[in-house]
């Protein structure tokens, strides 16, 4: 069974903390993504990566950074957490093919910043 695993289901952090969200996939996919999901806004792309050490900004990168040192792992970093970053965070991976292929998602991390 293909798998995308996010390190935590629920996380509570304080304002100003540095927060790391980890994601690992076991499918040898080139592409990896971080989205946040908010009611009424759907999924918004924060960052994506199509290769090791490569990263591209998505639609809402402000306040976030990412790291991809190994093909299977993609980390999302909140440099200084703020209450408006309270959200559900979803990691996904996919093969890099012309025309696109389906993405596989992790279970999500519900982050609360207090």
Partner 1 sequence: GNSVTQMEGPVTLSEEAFLTINCTYTATGYPSLFWYVQYPGEGLQLLLKATKADDKGSNKGFEATYRKETTSFHLEKGSVQVSDSAVYFCAIGTASKLTFGTGTRLQVTL
Where along the sequence are the contacts to partner 1 (CB under 8 A)?
Answer: 4, 31, 33, 35, 40-43, 45, 48, 50, 56, 90, 92, 94, 96-108
| Shortest distance, position 83 Cβ to partner 1, whole Å | 23
Nearer to partner 1, 81 or 106 (CB): 106
Q: How far is the CB of 15 from partner 1 (least distance, A)?
A: 27
Q: Which is nearer to partner 1, 14 or 42 (CB)?
A: 42
In angstroms, the Cα distances linking 111 to 38, 44, 65 are: 12, 16, 16
SS3 6: strand
CB of 84 to partner 1, least distance (A): 19
Q: Give CA–CA dist 46/43, Å, rounded.
A: 9
Give 83's strand partners.
Answer: none
How many other CB atoms are found less than 10 A from the CB of residue 108? 18
- Look at strands 109-113 and 10-13 and give their pairing: parallel
Select 16 or 100, whichever has its Cβ closest to partner 1: 100
């Amino acid at each position: 069974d293909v798998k995308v695993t996010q390190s935590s289901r629920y996380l509570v952090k304080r304002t100003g903390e540095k927060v790391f969200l980890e994601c690992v996939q076991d499918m040898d996919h080139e592409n990896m993504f971080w989205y946040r999901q908010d009611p009424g806004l759907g999924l918004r792309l924060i960052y994506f990566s199509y290769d090791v050490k490569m990263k591209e900004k998505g639609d809402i990168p402000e306040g976030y950074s990412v790291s991809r040192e190994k093909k299977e792992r993609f980390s999302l970093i909140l440099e200084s957490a703020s209450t408006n970053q309270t959200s559900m965070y979803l990691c996904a991976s996919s093969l890099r093919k012309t025309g696109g292929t389906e993405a596989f998602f992790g279970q999500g991390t519900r982050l609360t910043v207090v």
